[in-house]
Amino acid sequence: MSATAIHLDGHSLDRASLVKIAEGAPVTLDENALQKVAKAAEFLAEQVRREEPIYGVSTGFGSNADKLLGARRTRPGNDEGSLHEELQRNLIITHAVCVGEPFAPEVVRAMLGIRINTLLRGHSGIRVQTLQALAAMLNAGVVPVVPQLGSVGASGDLAPLSHLAIVLLGGGEAFYQGERMPGGEALKRAGLAPVKLTHKEGLALNNGTAQMLATGVLAVERMEKLLDTADLAAAMTIEAFAGRLGAFAPEVHDLRPHPGQVQVAGNLRRLLQGSRLADIPYHLVPSFKTWQPESWDSAELQALSFDISWDWVPDTQRHGREKFYQRFKPFRGGKKHQPQDSYSLRCIPQVHGAVRDALAQAARVLDIELNAVTDNPLVFPDANAEHVEQQVISAGHFHGMPLALAMSYLKAAIPVLASISERRTNKLVDPATNDGLPAFLIGNEDGTESGYMIVQYSCAAIVNDLASRAMPAAVYSVPTSANAEDHVSMGANEARHVLAMTRDLAKVLGLELATAAQALDLRIAMINAACELARNGDAGQFARKVRGMPLPEADNRAVFLAEVEQLRQELATSQAFHPGKAVAAAHAEIRRHLPMMWRDHALDADVASAVRMVESGAVLDAAQAALAA
């Protein structure tokens, strides 16, 4: 393999390294760790020779734990190795009973990496040659077929891990070089031989939390990128609204310093750095007006698909607000005269930040689990003990509740992030809330166009689906193994749900980005049209864009014309209005793949492109490259 190998020692595996294993990196095994593995295996073999009763070695499993293995078979005629070997083999072949679609290869490779790493701790009793065979299978690219449904998360992920181990024995199914085939055939093609298990090795291979941990790690890795993408989508939406930045000021968040909240506020400040749209004076932002043949006098502006307008505030409506109108010109355009934006904009740090904190908690739990021993019983060959029960200890490290609850927290957070994104998308397309942009972000002068109307429907449908899947699986334990395992975690379902839900969250964020890009283009086009008219049109042409012009004989006509001229001069001398450089780079990347929609056109390809850009990270990469430049 061309990828750099990941060195496993049972103590130093991190999430980034596991992702590399999932993506195809081979592994190497630490020699010192292998010495500990050998010592534990030799210790167990000695206890078997001494005929010590040890759970899972010389007894049955689960509800069969009270059944001791005899010195010889009760039923003659079966000569397939010793009873100890038969016990371990049967454990694997009878437990590989998962159903449903198989996990993606990256999930299975991550499961293998986790299992190898935990066995290297030397507390599981597996032999060195068996562990090396497991690593060789991973490095050769043999990927066991592991159906997704079948684990209750205690005793660990028994059934899915049995699907891993059965291929090592030459059974089950596996993918090799992209082809699905019997496990024995995959080993043969890879130049590997099946393994025969001995004392406790079956239990060591299938008793642990590798499925829930693998899916959890991959979900967290994906969520980290999606949270950065959510901040970027929010920043682009703020630009499209010409939003207010005070809510993101550092001194504000010093007063309530939740870590995720502080981080998001800082992200937004960086993403919006250099913006000429954020905090723009209210009166400079025109409102959309439906295009008419007489809307524009110049041929260049006549080609636009919109008209613009302001409302003039006469003296009679300024009483008690004179000081305000000394600072802001008496015109109402696209931005309301209010110092705060709606919650879906103003509370981005609080909402996105809370989701980041949920993710950080999940990551903390997973980081511990990556180098934990999670099978049972645990072997302590170096313990100074009088009885073997003090050296081979049955405990509950296989129980997945720490992971399950961490995943349930994240599972509940995903619909929250999707929901606030959908609310921003809805705010962009609704003329009652989009601060002077056209309804559904399209000119629609003939009443035939829908624009981005139905994009918000898709967001709403996905958010509802995510919310309906957010019920914590961990709160509903279904006992197993004749009530020997009378409380289970359901952590495998929890983590599997989270991984699947991240894919739908990416769709919602992609749709927000596509919608925000459309809105941003319109906002800039409308302000630029106002500036163009202010520079190149005469005073009368500009004045006709202002509603509320007094009659010729009215006393305040001169006041009106003077104030309109002040507005015209301010626009005519303004520097170019543009988003911050990070948002501008992300917007340019979006426009490389989907065009601005001036007239209705088929949106299916645009929507698919927007989702792909989120999944691939292309939009986020463009913004981050701009910030780093």
Catalytic residues: 55
CB crowding 590-623: b at 16 or more within 10 Å, else e: beebbeebbeeeebeebbebbbebbbeebbbebb
In 537-580, which ranges are continuous DSSP H helix?
Answer: 539-543, 557-572
Can you read off the two tokens belonging to residue 384?
A: 């100074």
Residue 393's DSSP bridge partners are 378
- C-alpha distances in Å from residue 379, one per residue of 38, 125, 384: 12, 7, 13
Rounded CA gap, 261 and 267, in Å?
Answer: 10
Rounded CA gap, 93 and 88, in Å?
Answer: 9
In 125-247, which ranges are continuous DSSP H helix?
Answer: 128-139, 158-168, 183-189, 201-206, 210-241
Which residues, 6+ apart, have CB-to-CB distance to 366 below 8 Å? 15, 213, 216, 217, 220, 403, 406
Can you read off the two tokens belonging to residue 348?
A: 């981005």
Under 8 Å between Cβ of 451 and 535? no
Under 8 Å between Cβ of 353 and 260? yes
Can you read off the two tokens belonging to residue 600?
A: 């209705």
Can you read off the two tokens belonging to residue 462?
A: 């996905």
* Single-letter amino acid, residue 143: V
Residue where the block lists tokens 């004989």? 553
Rounded CA gap, 437 and 182, in Å?
Answer: 60
In 56-157, which ranges are continuous DSSP H helix?
Answer: 83-95, 105-119, 128-139
Rounded CA gap, 81 and 63, in Å?
Answer: 24
Which residues, 6+ apart, have CB-to-CB distance to 141 below 8 Å? 1, 24, 176, 177, 190
Helices 348-369 and 401-429 sit at what angle, rounded to 10 degrees?
Answer: 160
Under 8 Å between Cβ of 243 and 278? yes
Closest to 351 in 3D by CA, of 227, 166, 222: 227
Can you read off the two tokens belonging to residue 57?
A: 């070695």
Under 8 Å between Cβ of 43 and 383? no
Can you read off the two tokens belonging to residue 380?
A: 């302590």
Residue 265: Cβ within 10 Å count: 24
Can you read off the two tokens belonging to residue 513?
A: 């980005």
Vertex 32 angle, CA 26 and 38, to 5°? 95
Can you read off the two tokens belonging to residue 353?
A: 């930040």
Under 8 Å between Cβ of 557 and 550? yes
Under 8 Å between Cβ of 375 and 328? no
